[in-house]
Structure 1
C-alpha cells in the first residue's frame, strides 16, 4: 500500500506542477473535469449521480464554468436562481422519487465542489498568478505536513475527539504557524518577482496562515460527511488516496481564501 500511495503521490505532484505552470485553457479544462468528477463522487453518496437531479447538477456545473471562462460574473446569480428552480421542478414532478435531502445537497454540491475549486483557476489568472497559486498548496498540504509533525511530537489535547481522534490542538496550531512561516520564506525568496504586493513576505504569511485554518476545517468537514455516510473514501480514482474529494478536501477551502485575500492585500 505504501508504494502504491507513493507512486500515486509522485504522479499527482508531477501532473499538478505541469498543469498549474501551464495555466490557461489547460488548467481551466483540468479543474472543470476535476469538479465534475468530485461532484459525481458527492452525488453517489446520495444516489443521484445517474438521475435527473444529478444531471441538472452537472449541467449547472458546466454552465458555471462557462461563466467563469467568459468572465460573465454578472450572470452568476441568475444561474443559481435557475438551478434551484429547475431542481424544485424536478423534485415536485417526480415526487416522491427524491428526498428533500438529496435535492438540497445537489444544490449545495455546486458551491462545495465546483465553485470552490474554480478559484484555483481564478488565482492562477490573477496578476502574478504563477507565483500566487502555490500559496494554495502551502496553505493546504504544507499546513497538513506541519500539523502532522507537531502533532506526533507534542500533541496531547484532542481537537475533535469524536470526529478525528488523531488530530490535536497542538498539531493544528503547528500547522497554522508552519504554513505562515513557509509562506513568509516563500515571499522572501520571490519578492523581486512579485509586483502586486508591497510586502509579499508578510502578505503571504497572512494568506498561508489563514489558509491553514480553513484547510483544517475543510479536512474535518470532509471527514464528517464521510462519517455521516459511513464510508472510508469518496472514490477510488487515485490509488492509495481515494477520490478527488479525498485528495482535494482541503484545497477546496484554501482556493477561495487565497483568491480573496490576495485581491484584498494586493496594491
Structure 2
C-alpha cells in the first residue's frame, strides 16, 4: 500500500510539475520539488512503523511550536517541552483527547473572531499550542496506530484537494471569497479542489484500496468532512498569520513557507477524523 501511495503521489507531482513549468511559475515548481522531498520522508516514516511515525509527528509539533512562538518573540524551547509533555499525556490517556475537542474548536474560532491583540497575547499562544497543535499531532499519531492506511487516505485526499485548488485556482480563479483572511483563495480554486478530492476517493476504492468495504454513505461523509475541515485548517492558520502580521510561518520549505503552512490542513483535520474512525 505504501509503495502504491508513493508511486501515485510521484506521478501526481510530475503532472503538476510539468503544468507549473509550462506556465513558467517558479513558485509552483519550487512547491512541487519540496512536496517530492517531503513525500520521500513521509513514505520512509510510514514504512518505519509506530515509533518512527510518532517521532515524525513530534518533530512536526516541535517545529510548529517554533513557528508560532517566533513572531511574538517567545522562547521556543520551554514551549516545545511543555507541548511534548502534554502530547505524551494525551496519547497515554485517550479520554483526555476526547474532552479536548470542544476547546480545540473554540480556540480555532477565536483565531477568526478575536481581535489582533487577543491572538497576539501569550494566553492565546498557550491555547493555540496546547489546545490545537498538540491534539492535532496526537490525533494524527493515534490514527496511524489504528491503521496507517487512514493516514495515507488523509494525506492523499487533502493533497489532491490542495494541489487541484492551488494550481487550477491560480490559473482560473477569479471569484475571491476570503479577501481579508486569504486573498489568494477563490471559489474556482475550491471547486477544483473538490474535484481533486473526489478523484482521490475513486483512487482509494481502486488503486490504493483503503476504502474497500466502506459504504458510499460513509465515503461521502468522509469526503465532505475533509473538504470542510481541511480547508478550514488552511484558513485558520492564514487568519493567525494575518493577525500576527507575517506572510509565512517560516522558510524551511521552499514554495510553501513553514511547516504549518504545509501541514496545516492535515493536522487540523486529524482530531475529528480520529473520532469518526472510532465509530466506524
In structure 2, how many angstroms separate the alpha carbons of the residues matched to 1:172 and 1:20? Answer: 29
- The count of residues paired between Structure 1 and Structure 2 equals 236
- Higher Cα radius of gyration: 1
In structure 2, how many angstroms separate the alpha carbons of the residues matched to 1:78 and 1:199? Answer: 28
1:100-119 mapped onto 2 (5 Å cutoff)? 101-119=121-139
Matched residue, 1:234: 249
In structure 1, how many angstroms separate the alpha carbons of the residues matched to 2:90 and 2:55? Answer: 12
Secondary structure class of the residue paired with 2:44: helix
How has the CA–CA distance of structure 1 residues 78 and 206 changed in structure 2, closer, same or farther, with 3 Å as cutoff? closer
Matched residue, 2:228: 213
In structure 2, how many angstroms separate the alpha carbons of the residues matched to 1:100 and 1:199? Answer: 43
Q: 1:247 aligns with which of 224, 239, 262?
A: 262
Matched residue, 2:141: 121
With structure 1 as the length reference, what TM-score do the two structures score? 0.75
With structure 2 as the length reference, what TM-score do the two structures score? 0.72
Matched residue, 2:4: none
List runs of 5+ in structure 1 lacking aligned partners: 80-98
1:6, distance to aligned residue in structure 2 (A): 4.1
Backbone CA RMSD of aligned residues: 3.0
In structure 1, how many angstroms separate the alpha carbons of the residues matched to 2:201 and 2:84? Answer: 33
Q: Which deviates more, 150-159 or 219-228?
A: 150-159
1:250-265 mapped onto 2 (5 Å cutoff)? 250-264=265-279
In structure 2, how many angstroms separate the alpha carbons of the residues matched to 1:78 and 1:209? Answer: 24
Matched residue, 2:149: 131
CA contact (8 A) 2:165 2:189 kept: yes
CA contact (8 A) 1:5 1:240 kept: yes
Q: 1:172 aligns with which of 190, 206, 216?
A: 190
In structure 2, how many angstroms separate the alpha carbons of the residues matched to 1:203 and 1:229? Answer: 38
1:240, distance to aligned residue in structure 2 (A): 3.5
How has the CA–CA distance of structure 1 residues 109 and 259 changed in structure 2, closer, same or farther, with 3 Å as cutoff? same
